[in-house]
Structure 1
Amino acid sequence: MQGKVSSERTAMATVYVGIDVCKEWLDIHLHPLGRSFRVTNDTAGMRRLKRELDALDQMPRSALHIVMEATGKWHRAVQRSLHADGFYVSVVDPLRARLFAKACGFLAKTDRLDARLLAIMGEALKPAQTPPQDQALEALQELVNARSAANGERTALSNRMKTAVTAFLRKELTRRLAALDTHIARLDVEIERSIGAEPEMRRRLDILISIPGIGAVTAASLIAGLCELGACSGKQA
């Protein structure tokens, strides 16, 4: 099926669709058609985007190549929605996009220009299709990031406690530290539950904690941060 789609895409002119993603909006540029428009970054906006793309002179979806930057959580919903409906979607690293812009002499930065740049980048580099990330893994990443942030906050409060001399301040810091400890403990329980609910993540966890010096917290961070673990060959690693 993949070979069939690739053949269809190479047999006809491709329209490259650059999408600049932000929290509220999706700025879209169609290259080489030279057309730009904006939709809201929500369900209604995505429906309109698909209608606009489907109305391009009856072009099949296999002739469209969509390129967007990885923007944390904001690009995930539109990537998943477009991919599910059969569009060819590439998600590129923001640094790679910035370096491409610099090489092309794009010095200004606006949402519409960024969308045009991504479309041109798609034509020049033809980045590979990027399947959406597993939703269970995304949820784990969010939990692990929350724990890391809470632990950093706890370290900062502990350092302030060491220098605090006012009784009131020490009491307040003690209360906040206790609340953070509870928060972190609850996150640990949810992280453990999330991993346990996914057989593949559970398998990776068991392998990692079998290594001397790696505990459950470190193992969870590795599973969330290194998606390649357990999914590539020794040669690829």
Structure 2
Amino acid sequence: MTNTIIRQNVGIDISKLSISVAIAQKRLDQSVTILSSKTFANHSVGFEKMDRWVEQFADKSIEVHYTMEATGVYYESLAYWLFERQKPVSVILAKQVKTYAQSLNIKSKTDDIDARVLAQMGVERKLSSWSAVSKQMRTLKQLSRERNALIEQQTVIKNQLHALKHSHEPQQRSIDRIEKHLLLIQGQIKEIEEDMKSILVNDPPLQERVKNVCTIKGVGFITAIAIIAETNGFALFNSRSQLVCYAGYNVVQKQSGSSINSPTKISKKGNKHIRKTLYFPALTAVINDQQMSAIYERIHQKTQIKMKGVVAVQRKLLVLIYTLFKNNQPFNENYGKNKAA
């Protein structure tokens, strides 16, 4: 009776070209067994081979659950492949996996070990099921990143044009070509922004939430779309701390005895697109919002480092966007004062 299998899970560690897979089973006596592990290619043919491999080890009477880590965009193809075949899958944030591995006192790190950790985590923990991102959200994310890439190109070309115009005897034909290239990029940026707006027009509930987020001083339409798209509408997050870690704003410190005592800093082990998106809105918020200005000044006076004050405001803006989007409410700058009263 104690040998009865009550749960089984496939843990998947994903990289650009391959997926490392391990299958675990939990029995009635709470014992966990890793049955086997193997590596497959990270494309549809590899997914089919993985599926046949799982069938060799899985108990046919118990549903198989799949657990993977949210690693960049490399997990998406397999997650959608499993979801479309109605196989239950959980996508876990890297911080959660790391914390669980530490609880097992696992110090080594390989693809196979990570897959085994995910497999065991899936049978021991009750994990939330992952749902496919809506087509609108996927499109907004692609458009947002495309726009950011074009903005970077635009900056480079503007600098080239400035340098050429101020050089000795610049060639007019070279200037004309660069200016045409610049106009092309500017036109493409406008096209992307129009595409973003048309998506929201066709999705009134999302449009309403974006409108509420834009009531935050310093946060405009483009910023709101970028943050919401990068987080899939905050679908994977159950708390502010999870979101802060995902964006790389969590504070870390190295301290050991008397020889190592480095200053605290943000980890930066997170979504760089979020941090980059919030930089200029944070500067605007410091100028136009008294609360954000107070946060900035407090951190600046304490550390004498301006960037730390800006980062603190970025983190505050991210949490505000998350709160307003989740609650579907506009920003109320007197909320804290009214609550205290």
TM-score, normalised via structure 2 length: 0.55
Instruction: Please tell me whether residue 182 in structure 1 is matched to residue 187 in structure 2.
Output: yes
Q: Which residue of 2 aligns with 1:67?
A: 67
Q: Which residue of 2 aligns with 1:85?
A: 85
Is the 2:212–2:328 contact (alpha carbons within 8 Å) kept by the matching residues of 1?
no
Is the 2:209–2:328 contact (alpha carbons within 8 Å) kept by the matching residues of 1?
no
Is the 2:23–2:34 contact (alpha carbons within 8 Å) kept by the matching residues of 1?
yes
Q: Which residue of 2 aligns with 1:8?
A: none
TM-score, normalised via structure 1 length: 0.76
1:80 CA displacement: 2.1
Counterpart of 1:73 in 2: which secondary structure? Answer: coil
1:70 CA displacement: 0.7
Q: Which residue of 1 aligns with 2:197?
A: 192
Q: Identify if the C-alpha distance between structure 1 residues 93 and 196 changes in structure 2 by more than 3 Å, giving closer, same or farther.
A: same
Q: Which residue of 2 aligns with 1:40?
A: 41
**Residues 109-148 of structure 1: CA deviation (Å, up to 9, x unaligned):** 3222221122123244432222222232112111112212
Q: Equivalents in 1 of 2:325, 2:217: separation in Å?
A: 22
Q: Which residue of 1 aligns with 2:335?
A: none
Q: Which residue of 1 aligns with 2:129?
A: 129
1:157 CA displacement: 3.9
Q: Which residue of 1 aligns with 2:7?
A: 14
Is the 1:19–1:67 contact (alpha carbons within 8 Å) kept by the matching residues of 2?
yes
- Structure 1, 126-135 or 156-165: larger mean CA deviation: 156-165
Q: Equivalents in 2 of 1:160, 1:98: separation in Å?
A: 44
Rg larger in structure = 2
1:92 CA displacement: 0.8
Counterpart of 1:13 in 2: which secondary structure? Answer: strand
Counterpart of 2:79 in 1: which secondary structure? Answer: helix
Q: Which structure 1 segments of 5+ residues have no match?
A: 1-10
Counterpart of 1:83 in 2: which secondary structure? Answer: helix
Q: Percent identity?
A: 21
**Residues 187-209 of structure 1: CA deviation (Å, up to 9, x unaligned):** 11222233333343334345556
Q: Identify if the C-alpha distance between structure 1 residues 197 and 215 changes in structure 2 by more than 3 Å, giving closer, same or farther.
A: same
Q: Which residue of 2 aligns with 1:56?
A: 57
Q: Equivalents in 1 of 2:103, 2:221: separation in Å?
A: 44
Q: Identify if the C-alpha distance between structure 1 residues 219 and 232 changes in structure 2 by more than 3 Å, giving closer, same or farther.
A: closer
**Residues 142-163 of structure 1: CA deviation (Å, up to 9, x unaligned):** 1112212322332344345545
1:46 CA displacement: 1.9
Q: Which structure 2 segments of 5+ residues have no match?
A: 25-32, 235-321, 330-341
Counterpart of 2:57 in 1: which secondary structure? Answer: coil
Q: Equivalents in 1 of 2:159, 2:99: separation in Å?
A: 40
Is the 2:212–2:325 contact (alpha carbons within 8 Å) kept by the matching residues of 1?
no
Alignment of 1:134-213 (within 5 A): 134-159=134-159, 161-163=161-163, 165-166=166-167, 167=170, 173-208=178-213
**Residues 174-226 of structure 1: CA deviation (Å, up to 9, x unaligned):** 44433321221221122223333334333434555677765432343344245
Q: Identify if the C-alpha distance between structure 1 residues 178 and 116 changes in structure 2 by more than 3 Å, giving closer, same or farther.
A: same
1:77 CA displacement: 2.2
Counterpart of 2:34 in 1: which secondary structure? Answer: coil
Q: Equivalents in 2 of 1:58, 1:105: separation in Å?
A: 29
Among 8, 17, 24, the residue aligned to 2:17: 24
Q: What is the number of residues matched between the two proteins?
A: 224
Is the 2:34–2:116 contact (alpha carbons within 8 Å) kept by the matching residues of 1?
no
Counterpart of 1:137 in 2: which secondary structure? Answer: helix
Of structures 1 and 2, the one scoring higher in RCO (CA 8 A, sep 6+) is: 1
Q: Equivalents in 2 of 1:190, 1:234: separation in Å?
A: 23
Is the 2:23–2:54 contact (alpha carbons within 8 Å) kept by the matching residues of 1?
no
Q: Equivalents in 2 of 1:196, 1:59: separation in Å?
A: 46
- Structure 1, 23-32 or 52-61: larger mean CA deviation: 52-61
